[in-house]
Amino acid sequence: MQNIEDGPIFPDDKFARKIGFTRDKFDGYLWKDGDSIYISVIISKQPGKGNFSRLINNILKMGYKVKVSIPLGRMRLILLKKGFKKTYEWDYVYMDYVEVWVKEPER
């Protein structure tokens, strides 16, 4: 696992390029928190091209858990297909438990 600081990961940052999170493929940002990378606010610029799958796989290969907060619609179906598990985590913004789908790296 590469040691990067907790906080936002923006497209084309040094770490973002390593995992394929680039401006030509995505808008938005990711969030690192400990051993997890949260995907909460991203938009694929090339839907159906496999960029999202590669992003998830690259994050997992780097040794991080992938977490997706409150997925809606099609995203929920994609996560089910990819083997994510639904969990709940306390969210300090909402001051309540929120749905978070998780996939852990193979160890």
pLDDT, tens digit, 9 for 90 and up, residues 49-66: 999 999 999 999 999 999
CATH number reported for the structural domain that contains residue 59 in this entry: 3.40.630
Residue 30 has a pLDDT of 97
Total domains in the chain come to: 1
Residue 106 has a pLDDT of 86
Whether 90 maps to a domain, the answer reads yes
* 107 — pLDDT class (breaks 50, 70, 90): confident
pLDDT, tens digit, 9 for 90 and up, residues 20-30: 999 999 999 99
Question: Given the DSSP bridges, would you call strands 65-69 and 36-44 parallel, antiparallel or unpaired?
Answer: parallel
Note if the pTM is more than 0.85: yes
Whether 2 maps to a domain, the answer reads no
Whether 83 maps to a domain, the answer reads yes
Whether 1 maps to a domain, the answer reads no
**Structural domain boundaries enclosing 86:** 7-103
Whether 43 maps to a domain, the answer reads yes
Cβ-based burial of 65 (10 A; exposed 0-12, middle 13-18, buried ≥19): middle
- 12-27 as b/e: b if 16+ CB within 10 A: ebebbeebbbeeebbe
